[in-house]
Amino acid sequence: MKTLNVDVAVIGGGTAGLGAYRAAKEHTDSVVMIEGGPYGTTCARVGCMPSKLLIAAAEAVHHIEKAPGFGVHPMGETKINGREVMDRVKRERDRFVGFVLEGVDSIPAEDKIRGFARFIDDNTLVVDDHTTINAKRIVIATGSRPSWPAVWNELGDRLIINDDVFEWDDLPESVAVFGPGVIGLELGQSLHRLGVNVLMFGMGGQVGPLTDPQVMAYADKTFSEEFYLDADSKVDMMQREGDKVFIRYQDKSGDMQETLVDYVLAATGRRPNVDNIGIENTTLTLDARGVPLADKFTMQTSVDSIFIAGDASNQIPLLHEAADQARIAGDNAGRFPEIRVGLRRSKISAVFSDPQIGMVGESFREISQRLGTCGCFETGEVSFENQGRSRVMLRNKGMLRVYGEQGTGRFLGAEMIGPDAEHIAHLLAWAHQNQMTVSQMLDMPFYHPVVEEGLRTALRDLNARLKLGPEMIKHCLDCGPGC
Ligand SMILES: Cc1cc2nc3c(=O)[nH]c(=O)nc-3n(C[C@H](O)[C@H](O)[C@H](O)COP(=O)(O)OP(=O)(O)OC[C@H]3O[C@@H](n4cnc5c(N)ncnc54)[C@H](O)[C@@H]3O)c2cc1C
């Protein structure tokens, strides 16, 4: 067994691990990064990028299907070549992974330790029984993994996760997606649009990451119109039958249905990789899910010399958050004990479904819990069904709800499903981070005709409800037609 003595050991070589390694290196040369799995990051290999590539192919089909609505009739039958679809997904995915690998290659070999690390105590790690590392400071950046009910393991190789989809050479005929959350919606809708027979089952009525009941109901209705989605499903039986999976379920009208599918895709959530790293050998204080508690501004845990970043922290499992947390955790591990608070940005998230889902700032649930009992917040709303530019583009489905604080008029957050939600969410997140009031947001320019005019309508509605602006009028002067 080899022994290393280092200033900083980073566990995990994904987005957060790479970021923490680089930030710690600014302070000391004595940093190692330990990676047990493949290099390349979850985001590039099996996450953000391949999922968006599959969505892009699905969008191409959807544009063709929508064309007759404009009087444009594509000639002949649309042929979807599953092999070509998956080939492009994997080819482009590999290109993105290649960029990450170039970064990994530039790290000196002696700083990269291969193998899975486990804590022996607060300052000691063992890697795969070949190396003991005595580290003055440690950053946990071990990411997360999909989780599903153990009984589904009986489905064998018919049970798949997102990683498996991006290894397919061809598209299957049918998939039952369990979990209409971010990953389930993105993959399920794309597969449906690419001609795969998709059934989507949820629990408790949850759709996407939404918390506003009105936006969630709209999302449920919209997706249900396109493919079978039961967000509160009653699946009676699921078992393997040859190369298929037999599913018996009660449909939304209460009738029993039986079906055979090629695969069951588990999109039922992800759990932080902290249960398999010998955490019990540390003195770390854990939350109810067994995740080390950490200060969100310093990423320091209850053990001063241990920091955490990325999905492992269970704070906000998104790429840009992993990068921010990594910068803070790595910087503090490097400069310890003189630690500093780092920048945490306003919350923003997007689901690349169609229509897209966007959430910014505090969620409706968080605001209701904080301000609901005193009635100290108001909600403004817009429907995109008659919104000018959205109708022009035949993308007039969706609703946006914006929340503001009584008295101060400050913009608190928003939830939406609708056209260009990824872009509207950015405008709103920038306003939120600048702590703008709704009136200040309305002072900003809005071009015509754009989807963002819908945002202006929602903000005007909110300002009126906050009693800070005039009542909403049906045909405003600056609105132009269809606002
Ligand atoms: C299908 C999908 C789509 C997504 N889409 C988006 C999106 O559109 N936008 C967005 O912002 N986010 C998206 N995400 C989330 C995003 O990918 C993650 O938030 C981000 O990758 C987390 O980075 P990380 O460094 O924490 O984890 P990872 O990149 O997973 O890195 C963790 C690393 O730690 C290693 N490791 C684990 N345990 C050990 C150990 N004991 N010893 C050594 N190494 C270990 C693992 O092998 C892994 O390489 C998506 C995720 C998925 C799955």
Residues in Cβ contact with 335 at an 8 Å cutoff, skipping those fewer than 6 apart: 27
Q: Is the CB of 209 under 6 A from ligand 1?
A: no
For 372-420, write each residue's pLDDT tens digit. Answer: 888 899 999 999 999 999 999 999 999 999 999 999 999 999 999 999 9
Q: Is residue 482 part of a domain?
A: no
3-state secondary structure of 58: helix
CB atoms within 10 A of CB 97: 21
Is 67 part of a structural domain of the chain? yes
Distance 311 CA to ligand 1 centre (A): 6
Residue ending a domain, among 253, 268, 283, is 268
Q: Which of 11, 42, 324 to mutate to test the pocket of ligand 1 (most atoms within 8 A of CB)?
A: 42
Give yes or no for residue 43 having a pLDDT over 80: yes
How many angstroms separate the alpha carbon of residue 357 from the centre of ligand 1? 21
Q: Tell whether 478 is covered by a domain.
A: no
Question: Does residue 291 sit in helix, strand or coil?
Answer: coil
Pair 116, 185 in one domain: no
- In this structure, which residue's CA is closest to atom 12 in ligand 1? 318
Whether 181 is in the pocket of ligand 1, judged by its Cβ within 6 Å, is: no
205 domain residue, yes or no: yes
Q: Which pLDDT belongs to residue 483? A: 57
The amino acid present at 43, given as its one-letter code, is C
Task: Please indicate, yes or no, if residue 470 is contained in any of the structural domains.
Answer: no
Residue 108 has a pLDDT of: 98
Tell me how far apart the alpha carbons of residues 332 and 41 are, in angstroms, rounded to a whole number: 23
Confidence at residue 373, expressed as pLDDT on a 0 to 100 scale: 87
112 and 30: one domain?
Answer: yes
Based on the domain organization, do 129 and 6 belong to the same domain? yes
Question: Which of 11, 21, 41, 43 has most ligand 1 atoms within 8 Å of its beta carbon, as the pocket-test mutant?
Answer: 43
Q: Same domain for 311 and 236?
A: no
Quote the pLDDT of residue 375. Answer: 84
* Ligand 1 center from residue 46 Cα (angstroms): 9
- Please report the atom of ligand 1 found closest to the CA of residue 143: 27
What pLDDT shows up at residue 475? 65
Q: How far does residue 47's CA lie from ligand 1's centre (Å)?
A: 8
Query: What ranges make up the beta strands (E) of 306-436?
Result: 306-308, 348-351, 356-361, 377-383, 399-405, 411-418
CA 42–ligand 1 middle distance (angstroms): 4
Contact 292, 308 (CB under 8 A): yes
**What's the confidence (pLDDT) of residue 146?**
98
Residues 140 and 286 in one domain: yes
Residues 364, 375, single domain; the answer is: yes
130 C-beta neighbours (distance < 10 Å), count: 11
Is 481 contained in some domain?
no
Quick one: 192 and 319 in the same domain?
no
How many whole angstroms from 321 Cα to the centroid of ligand 1?
11
Domain end: 268, 298, 325, which one? 268
What is the rounded CA–CA span in Å between residue 483 and residue 475? 8
pLDDT tens for 435-480 read 999 999 999 999 999 999 999 999 999 999 999 988 777 666 566 6
Q: What is the pLDDT of residues 257-285, one digit of tens each?
A: 999 999 999 999 999 999 999 999 999 99
Per-residue pLDDT reduced to its tens digit, 47-84: 999 999 999 999 999 999 999 999 999 988 999 999 99
- Is the CB of residue 141 below 6 angstroms from any atom belonging to ligand 1? yes
* Atom 31 (ligand 1) nearest CA: 14
Q: Which of 291, 312, 335 is the last residue of a domain?
A: 335
CATH number, residue 444: 3.30.390.30
pLDDT at 309: 98
pTM: 0.96
Triad 312, 315, 321: Cα angle to 5°: 85
474 domain-assigned? no
Give the count of domains, the chain: 3
pLDDT value at residue 480: 62
pLDDT class of 306 with cuts at 50, 70, 90: very high
Residue 31 has pLDDT above 70, yes or no: yes
Do 130 and 204 fall within a single domain? no
Q: Give 122's Cβ-side CA count (13 Å radius).
A: 12
Q: Considering only CA atoms, which residue is closest to atom 23 of ligand 1?
A: 15
Give a yes or no: residue 25 inside a domain.
yes
For residues 246 and 326, state if they share a domain.
no
Give Cβ neighbours of residue 22 (< 8 Å, ≥ 6 apart): 330
**In testing the pocket of ligand 1, which one of 35, 46, 48 has its CB within 8 Å of the most ligand atoms?**
48
199 and 213 both lie in a single domain = yes
Q: Are the CB atoms for 472 and 461 separated by under 8 Å?
A: yes
Per-residue pLDDT of 313-337, as tens digits, reads 999 999 999 999 999 999 999 999 9
**Local confidence band at 187 (pLDDT 50, 70, 90 cut-offs):** very high
Cα–Cα distance, 17 to 141 (Å, whole number)? 5
Q: How far is the CA of 417 from the centre of ligand 1 (A)?
A: 26
Structure confidence at residue 302 as a pLDDT band (50, 70, 90): very high
Per-residue pLDDT, 482:
60
Using a 6 Å cutoff on CB, does residue 50 contact ligand 1? Answer: no
Are residues 282 and 406 located together in one domain of the fold?
A: no
Rounded (10°) angle between helices 452-465 and 421-433: 50
Residue 142 has pLDDT above 90, yes or no: yes
Per-residue H/E/C for 297-357: CCCEECCCCEEECHHHHCCCCCHHHHHHHHHHHHHHHHHCCCCCCCCCCCCEEEECCCCEE
- Read off the DSSP letter of residue 162: H
- Write the CATH number for 315: 3.50.50.60
Tell me what the pLDDT averaged over the chain comes to: 97
Pairing label, strands 31-35, 2-11: parallel
Please tell me the predicted confidence (pLDDT) of residue 267: 98
Q: Is the CB of 325 under 6 A from ligand 1?
A: no
CB neighbour list of residue 198: distance below 8 Å, 6 or more residues apart: 174, 175, 176, 177, 188, 189, 191, 192, 227, 228
Query: Tokens standing for 462?
Result: 């909110």
Q: Which domain holds residue 199?
A: 150-268
Task: Out of 190, 319, 348, 359, give the residue to mutate to test ligand 1, the one with the largest number of ligand atoms within 8 Å of its CB.
Answer: 319
* 364 and 433 in a common domain: yes
